Chain A
Amino acid sequence: MSYVPSRNPMKDQVAIVGVGVAPYSRENTLRSMGALAIDACIRAAQDAGVSRQDIDGISAQSVTAQYLQPALGIPELSWWFNSWLPFSNQLDAAIRAVATGGCEVCLVSHSQLFGPGRSRAAASDPFRVRHSVGTADVRAFLGAGHVQAEPHSVFGAAGYAAWAGKYLHDFGARREHFGYVAINARSQAARNDNAVMRKPLTMDEYLTGRMIREPLCMYDMDIPTDGADAFIVTTAERARDMAQPAVLVHAVSSGQAGTSSEEHTLDFDHTSQVVTARNLWARSDLTLSDLDVYCLYDGFTIITLNWLENMGFCGRGEAGPFLEANWDTEESRVRFRGHARLNPHGGNLSEGHTDGAGHTREAVLQLQGRAGARQIPDAAGALVAIGGLFSTKLGAFVLRRPD
């Protein structure tokens, strides 16, 4: 493509202020997805110091704006939107709605309830089993049938494994390179009370971990969890009167490649990540080295290696050696330029499957100076990149502290 969209009229005009979490858990929470979403929304509003009467926009997903508005007693909405997994599109939409006057104070909601097929604890909850009744399968939307489902096609998780194999093949990479992403996540999660996997992981443990979808083992895949996040998004001006420091949205990008399915992605140079990253930097005055916090999606380790390459940390196929070169052996985690960190909260791999809401929350808390034991000193800018490699939503955000 010759044209790269670089206009950015909403630069630094919109802020994220409040965050709220319904803590992520691997156990059966015995709660509904709606209850988790409501908890996170109320905490986000209280965190920002806004009342239900102040909120006039909702950007949500499977627990919809139509569910949340009456449940939270919000008298009127002037704008709403419902998106799909993972988290990113509803944040992108909320930022644009606030920037263009669609609403003033927008609640952005994300919630997660893991399916009955993903653990014994989940399967033992009859209400969780009932929850999936009548829910359209993702493949059904694509019009697919029995020859397109795992184990007969590379749909979903099998697709990430197949492309991880291609990555090893194309670039002479080693499984150790995936391992750095998994080990970094565990070491970071040890500093996060909200993380579900906090036991340190060694490279030996990684390399001998139970193989699931070769070449990806159990440590390459995220942890199924229940939980929810919510955010208050408002104008930079209005944010100044709220209870927490404003985090400004500097640049936003949600790109998609021409063919982005697991089967038909052309190669690593033609993924939606490539488009998303290129357009983000075209709109941003800040560059990679201006930032201190890097929250890059890690539903599978192979995703993070691609984000590192596509965001410009290193060249194509070089993410493994790049992590190796920036590895802090003593702390078993990545360190850039002495202080900057990758997924300081532990990511999907160790905090839990937050679908990118956790990555966003961590960036906001770091820039507000509220990240506790894992606070990066004087963090002023953050990169958040959400989404995988294929036909899911991808979004990337440059966030910054006000001057």
Chain B
Amino acid sequence: MGDSLSEVTDDEVLAAFPDVRLDHDNKHFYKGLLQQRYLINRCAECGWSHAPPRARCPQCWSSAVEPTPVEGEGTVELVTFLHQGPPSPGVDYSEPYPLVCVAFDTVPGVRVSGTVVGAAREDIAIGLRVRHRWVQRDGRPYPVFEPINGERA
């Protein structure tokens, strides 16, 4: 893990996200975004995953936490549709903008937020099975979700 992360330097992540309050705990997450990898802190000693990134494992207090790529599929657990909201690249509120929280199968207890693409509005509901992919908006990577056809939890 450490090898591939070091491909993005501190200077590069600081330059890429000038308006984000980066620190030594969350910089790995943002380096991951630049590489289109969704990194969640996992404890090398007890296996517990946590988000947002903190310096020690909240379960066993070990400092052996490692930013670890999340792979695979998950389930939608929270849903809202925004009929208005702050301006953001690529977000058009002329149609209600879906915003969901997803729990990945491989990272129990951690939910991540994002929008859903490639789904009919009536299908975007609690229980929808999804996988994550990336979109670029104004040159910035955003994690989004798309449905796994035909699957519900």
B111 touches A (CB below 8 Å): yes
A169 to chain B, nearest CB (A): 5
Residues of B within 8 A of A148 (CB): 52, 113
List A contacts of B25 (CB < 8 A).
143
- Residues of A within 8 Å of B84, CB to CB, are 212
Q: Are A214 and B80 within 8 A (Cβ)? A: yes
CA A211 – CA B85 in complex, angstroms?
Answer: 12
Q: Which residue of B lies closest to A211 (CB)?
A: B83
User: Is A161 an interface residue when CB atoms closer than 8 A count as contact?
Assistant: yes
A193 within 8 A of B: no
Min CB gap B81→A, angstroms: 4
Say if the beta carbon of B41 comes within 8 Å of chain A: no
**A94 at interface, CB cutoff 8 A:** no
In the complex, what's the smallest C-beta–C-beta distance from B50 to chain A, in angstroms?
9
Shortest CB-to-CB span from A220 to chain B, Å, is 12
- Give which listed residue, A117, A144, A150, contacts B82 with CB less than 8 A: A150
Separation of A133 and B17 alpha carbons in the complex (Å) = 20
Please pick, from B17, B83, B110, the residue contacting A212 in the complex, using a CB distance under 8 A.
B83
A93 vs B114: C-alpha distance in the bound complex, in angstroms?
38
Q: Given A158-B80, A165-B78, does the pair A151, B99 have CB atoms closer than 8 Å?
A: yes
Q: How far is the CA of A144 from the CA of B143 in the complex (A)?
A: 15
> Taking the nearest CB of chain B, how far is it from the CB of A30, in angstroms?
26
Given contacts A150-B82, A151-B82, A145 and B30 within 8 Å (CB-CB): yes
Q: Within the assembled complex, what's the spacing in Å between the Cα atoms of A155 and B80?
A: 12
Bound Cα distance from A139 to B113, whole angstroms = 15
Residue of chain A at shortest CB distance from B20: A145
| Chain B interface, >50% SS class | loop
Type the 1/0 row for A189-219, where 1 means its CB is closer than 8 Å to any CB of B: 0000000000000000000001111111000
Instruction: Report whether A143 and B52 are in contact in the complex, using a CB–CB cutoff of 8 Å.
Output: yes
A235 to chain B, nearest CB (A): 40
Q: Is A373 an interface residue (CB 8 A)?
A: no
> How many residues from A make CB contacts under 8 Å with B?
34
- The answer on a CB contact under 8 Å between B82 and A158 is yes
A227 CA / B77 CA spacing, docked (Å): 38
Most buried by B among A144, A153, A263: A263
Query: Shortest CB–CB separation between residue A259 and chain B, in angstroms?
Result: 8
Given contacts A144-B21, A264-B51, contact A166 B126 (CB under 8 A): yes
Chain A residues with Cβ below 8 Å from B101 are 154, 162, 263
Contact in complex: A154, B83 (CB < 8 Å): no
Distance in angstroms between the alpha carbons of A169 and B51 in the assembled complex? 25
Q: Which A residue sits closest to B53, measured CB to CB?
A: A143
B26 touches A154 (CB 8 A): no
A379 CA to B23 CA in the complex, in Å?
52
Interface contact A161-B113, CB-CB below 8 Å: no
A300 CB to closest chain B CB, in angstroms? 12
A163 CB within 8 Å of chain B: yes
Complex interface residues of chain B between 9 and 61 (CB less than 8 A to chain A): 17, 19-23, 25-26, 30, 33, 51-53
Name B17's closest neighbour in chain A (CB-CB). A145
Interface centre among B80, B81, B126 (most CB of A within 10 A): B80
Say yes or no: A146-B17 contact (C-beta < 8 A), given A152-B113, A153-B113, A212-B83.
yes
Is A1 part of the contact surface with B, judged by Cβ < 8 Å? Answer: no
Q: Which of A135-192 contact B (CB under 8 A)?
A: 139-140, 142-155, 158, 161-166, 169
Which residues on B sit within 8 Å (CB–CB) of A145?
17, 19-22, 26, 30
CA distance in complex: A216, B99 (Å): 14
Measured between C-beta atoms, what is the minimum distance from B7 to chain A in Å? 20
Contacts of B82 in A (CB 8 A): 150-151, 158, 161, 212-214
How near does chain A come to B17, taking the closest CB pair, in angstroms? 6
Nearest chain A CB to B116's CB is how many angstroms away? 12
Is B86 in contact with chain A by the CB < 8 A criterion? yes
| Contact across chains for B97 and A151 when beta carbons are under 8 A apart | yes
Q: Which residues of B lie under 8 Å from residue A169 when comparing CB positions?
A: 125-126
For residues 80 through 112 of chain B, which have their beta carbon under 8 Å from a beta carbon of chain A? Answer: 80-86, 88, 91, 96-97, 99-101, 109-112
- In the complex, are the beta carbons of B22 and A152 less than 8 A apart? no
- Shortest C-beta distance, B29 to chain A (Å), equals 8
Residues of A51-102 at the interface with B, using a CB-CB cut-off of 8 Å, are none
Over the window 364-399 of chain A, the binary record of Cβ atoms lying under 8 Å from chain B Cβ atoms (1 yes, 0 no) is: 000000000000000000000000000000000000
Cβ-defined contact, B112 with A151, below 8 A: no
Q: Which residues of A contact B79 (CB under 8 A)?
A: 162, 165-166
Please name 15 pairs of A and B residues whose Cβ atoms are closer than 8 Å in the assembled complex, sorted by A.
A143-B52, A143-B53, A146-B19, A151-B91, A151-B115, A158-B82, A162-B80, A166-B77, A166-B126, A169-B126, A210-B83, A211-B83, A213-B83, A216-B80, A264-B51
Taking A154-B113, A264-B111 as known contacts, 11 extra A-B pairs with beta carbons closer than 8 A to each other, sorted by chain A number, are A143-B21, A145-B21, A148-B113, A150-B85, A151-B99, A153-B113, A161-B80, A162-B78, A212-B84, A214-B80, A263-B112
Report, nearest first, the 5 A-B pairs whose CB atoms are least far apart.
A145-B20, A153-B113, A214-B81, A161-B80, A162-B78
